[in-house]
Amino acid sequence: MLLHPASVTARTWGNPARSSASRQRAAGAGADPWGLSLAQAVLSAHLNEALQQYGSAALDAVDLPPLSSSAALAPGQIRVAAALFWARWVEQAGIPGFVEALCERLMQGRLQLPLRDVTAQLVRFFRKRDERFGPEERRAIYDRVFGADSNSAFFLSWGRLLAELDGVGRSVGQATPSQLARLNVAARELGGLLSGVGGMSAFAARDIVATIRSALAILEHQEIVASLGPGGVWNIVARHGPRFLDRPVSPSRSVALAVAGQTVLTWLADNAPQIAEGRVVVAADSAVVSAAQRYLLESRET
């Protein structure tokens, strides 16, 4: 494969005013099966809040302070956590690591593929590797926000919220007042933890989600599909991931966990005012209950 230098163009983040997490959810999971559009939307919503609070300086701030809120919970910070939680599971699925490994092998001549039109994308992605968060840095961000294992404060609180949502889903008829009271307590506890997410987390989330977006675009290119096999992005990763990443991958399961987890945390952000006051109400057939049950189901599978 012959690779030619390509000019590096600046990566831009979409106009936050044009992105809406609520509009994205209204479009349905079928319009966003991997959760990427929702991740971009919740980060755009956070950036819009930051612009209102800090002005244009928020656009370039790396270590942005947590968004202040008159309420007990900070929706903007929870949205950042939602996007990072999604990215954490997508990372487990193999993206962007698979494309990073693919580019490295191609550029070093350790892999030969009949590529032509996609070459510029590959070169651009490879050259920008020192300008974005690398694998170890991404893992450090995830561990700082969520903890390194299932015994972290986040995951213990997360498990309680999922259990309460699952209980609502299993109820006959409407949820009882005691069920809703426990749900509000669990949601407020988790929301309180995530309201403190600050520092460079928002900057990192935007960078990581943009990297994932670029990696997915490369894998969707027809020349990559023709070279690495049919079946779509995640079949390519499932087929070649263990060799490229030197670890087992389960893309379908990990993406399902990413989408379900992000849906629950975005609900938490959207309903923060009601949760803070202890008056959130959830129906057994609601999207957030379905997402919680899907997460629990997928997380139990080995």
Question: Under a CB-based contact definition with an 8 Å cutoff, are residues 119 and 225 in contact?
Answer: no
Nearest 10 degrees: Cα torsion 128, 130, 136, 141: -80
Distance CA 163, CA 292 (A): 8
Residue 19: pLDDT above 90? Answer: no
CA-CA-CA-CA dihedral for 232, 36, 216, 108, to nearest 10:
-140
Which is nearest to 253 in space by CA: 192, 195, 191, 301? 301
Q: Note whether residue 174 is domain-resident.
A: yes
The mean pLDDT value of the chain amounts to 86
Q: Tell me if 24 is assigned to some domain.
A: no
Q: Does 26 map to a domain?
A: no
Among left, alpha and beta (phi > 0; psi -120 to 50; other), residue 246 is left
pLDDT at position 302, please?
55
The Cβ of residue 152 has, within 10 Å, a number of other Cβ atoms equal to 15
Looking at residue 33, its pLDDT comes to: 84
From the list 193, 89, 195, 187, the residue with the least C-alpha distance to 142 is: 89
Grade residue 3 by pLDDT with cuts at 50, 70 and 90.
Answer: very low
| Residue 1 is assigned to a structural domain of this protein | no
Q: Buried (b) or exposed (e) across 113-132, using 16+ Cβ within 10 A? A: eebeebbbbbbbbbeeeeeb
* pLDDT tens per residue, range 195-230: 988 778 999 999 999 999 999 999 999 999 999 988
Q: What is the DSSP letter of 7?
A: P
Cβ neighbours around 63 below 10 Å, total: 10
Contact 41, 23 (CB under 8 A): yes
Contact in structure between 259 and 252 (CB atoms under 8 Å): no
Give the pLDDT score at 174: 86
Q: Has residue 13 got a pLDDT over 50?
A: no
What mean pLDDT do residues 72-93 have? 95
Name the more confident of 62 and 195: 195
Residue 22 lies in a domain: no
Question: Of 27 and 184, which is predicted with more confidence?
Answer: 184
- Lowest model confidence (mean pLDDT) among 8-22, 23-37, 43-57: 8-22
pLDDT value at residue 15: 35
| Within a domain: 10 | no
272 part of a folded domain: yes
Look at residue 197 in the predicted model and tell me its pLDDT. 86
Number of structural domains the chain divides into: 1
Residue 124 has which token pair? Answer: 């651009």
Residue 74 has pLDDT above 50, yes or no: yes
Query: Considering the chain, what percentage of its residues have pLDDT values greater than 70?
Result: 82
Range(s) of the domain holding residue 172: 32-300
CA 53/CA 93 separation, integer angstroms: 35
Could you give the 3-state DSSP secondary structure of residue 66? coil
Q: Is 273 part of a structural domain of the chain? A: yes
3-class SS shares of the chain: helix, strand, coil, % to 5: 70, 0, 30
Chain segment 106-125, per-residue pLDDT in tens: 999 999 999 999 999 999 99
The answer, yes or no, to whether residue 163 has pLDDT greater than 80, is: yes
Q: What pLDDT is recorded for position 216?
A: 96
pLDDT at res. 62 = 56
Smallest CA-to-CA distance from 83 within 163, 253, 197 is with 197
The distance between the two most distant Cα atoms of the chain, rounded to a whole number of Å, is 66
Nearest to residue 76, comparing CAs of 56, 54, 57?
54
